[in-house]
Structure 1
Amino acid sequence: MPNDITLNEDEQDCLQEFMNISFGTTVAAISKIIDKFATLGIPNIQTITSKELQEHISKKVISRESFFMASQLMHGELSGENLFIIDKTSATNLASEFDFEDFEINDDELKDIVLEITNIISSTTLSKLSSLLNMDVSFSSPKVDYIRSEVEFNKQYEFNYETIIIISTELKFEDQHIDGELVIMTNRESSIHIKKELNAVLDDI
């Protein structure tokens, strides 16, 4: 693994703290919108290859009978891609928090809900993170797919990043039985920039 991408312990601790701050902002935004308390897990930060990413995501989805996966591209100094993965049961429970009745909920409605929550999570988390890192970011419109198996996932998704920093966390509304995962992937150039900004912060401490 290239040394110019891999984060050392201090850099990873600093990025994790920035992610905790960013996720806190996101949780507050989500909780305000649906008036329910949410939690985001401690971020897991790794430096991996595209092949390792494919394996990582496959392991995450293999236990899910069917799930929605939303993807959104990031542009600017903080660039790469976001994924939000949520199983169908959790997506259905999430839809009920947006005041949908059971008879109103179909796959298209669920896709719309997943897109909306992805927009909230991505824009809030990454906007806060970019401000902490003094990096600019903008977003493409997200897209969402309904995937019924690991085989279907592997056919539809192929990640072509040389090396990436992956940041993943779980979003939970325990009382509502809603469980999803956010995966943030930054490309090589952005990863180098992140490392540079983290070191600037560490040098000021």
Structure 2
Amino acid sequence: MPTIPLLICDDSNMARKQLLRALPTDWDVSVTLATNGKEGIDAIRQGLASVVLLDLTMPEMDGYQVLAAIQAEQLQTKVIVISGDVQTEAVRRVMAMGALAFLKKPVEPLELKTLLVDLGILVESKSAVAIVPPSAIPATSFQDAFREVINIAMGRAAALLARVLGVFVHLPLPNVNMLEVGELHMALADAQAGEELTAVCQGYIGGGIAGEALLIFHRSEIADMAKLMQRDSVDYSDMEMLLDLSTILIGACLTGIAEQIDVVFSQGHPQILGAQGGIEELIRVNQRRWKKTLAVELSYSIEGHNIHFDLLLLFTEDSVDRLTKKLAYVMS
């Protein structure tokens, strides 16, 4: 049997390395790596991908756009989507666009091998896998590794929100940065952009890792959220509605992170902050603890509705060392 050209298309260095480790060792393939959808579709056009392992949330071109281009150009390739976006609607859409299967991240080696056999793609060979070995990929940085953890966690949170509200949630590319407290002020000022904000704040701690979660809403969109959540009682206030929404998103995202790094987070009682004053006060109170913070920014939007909200996860500087140790294996 000839060597099969395989394309791994994912913007995360960590995810690409994980997939290389998950490939069956008796599968005779040559691997091309793409870091975004544009690179991926170029590789497919060049005949470097009779099989594609495709991520969905990527810069340049996302996975949906790659699938659309494959259909439009009638390119001959077999696509398996491997994504952290596990919404039922996401799976339905990619299958309708020609994907042969969907696997959630992080994929298990046995799960991948079983699927490849079931699809008739894997024919066992005595040849070793002719791939780019994981050791040949540059070492994964902490930010890249943690960004992939966040990517998986936010996908699980979006799936829960989508199921509860009956919507499709557009997932962002997560931003992960170390920020000085002054830079954090600026980031929150940019998020406000002249509009009044309401935020829900919730602390969390576990396994030597601690921080605050901020779910930030534009007040102009609260009425739209009330309609979406089918508020039918005058006793169900805006504040109660926002607390319910934050419980879903913050809780699911923290659980998704905790499961991947093998810790258990205890969450504090959520608090409603006012507009700018409340957020400023939160930073002032935590200024010493947040002299430098690991900040994760996620900007969700809901399809078909004028609803956007930002989720900020602010980890203390002391938490970074513990997180780095938790991610040491995948970073190596």
TM interval, short-chain normalised = 0.7 to 0.9
| CA–CA separation in structure 2 for the residues paired with 1:138 and 1:85 | 21
Equivalent residue in structure 1 for 2:309, among 180, 190, 193: 180
| CA–CA separation in structure 2 for the residues paired with 1:152 and 1:11 | 32
8 Å contact from structure 2 (residues 158, 169) kept in 1: yes
- TM-score, structure 2 length as denominator? 0.53
Corresponding position: 1:127 with 2:258: no
Matching of residues 157-172 of structure 1 within 5 Å: 157-158=283-284, 159-160=286-287, 161-172=290-301
Corresponding position: 1:114 with 2:242: yes
SS at match of 2:304: helix
Tell me the equivalent position of 1:76.
206
Structure 1 unaligned runs (5+)?
Answer: 1-7
| 1:67-93 deviation digits (Å, cap 9, x = unpaired) | 211100011223110001111122221
Tell me the equivalent position of 1:4.
none
Tell me the equivalent position of 2:320.
191
Tell me the equivalent position of 2:228.
97
Tell me the equivalent position of 2:280.
154
**What's the offset of the Cα at 1:15?**
1.2
Gap change, CA 1:37 and 1:9, over 3 Å in 2: same
Corresponding position: 1:33 with 2:164: yes
**What's the offset of the Cα at 1:174?**
3.0
| 1:34-63 deviation digits (Å, cap 9, x = unpaired) | 111112311001001222212211221133
Higher relative contact order (CA 8 A, sep 6+): 1
| 1:145-190 deviation digits (Å, cap 9, x = unpaired) | 231xx46643564232132110001010131110000000001221
Count of matched residue positions in the alignment of Structure 1 and Structure 2: 190
Stretch moving more, 50-59 or 18-27: 50-59
Corresponding position: 1:202 with 2:328: no
Counterpart residue identity of residue 243, structure 2: L
Equivalent residue in structure 1 for 2:186, among 14, 33, 55: 55
How big is the alpha-carbon RMSD for the aligned residues of Structure 1 and Structure 2?
2.1
Say which structure is richer in helix.
1
Identity of aligned residues (%): 17
SS at match of 1:182: strand
Tell me the equivalent position of 2:218.
87
8 Å contact from structure 1 (residues 76, 137) kept in 2: yes
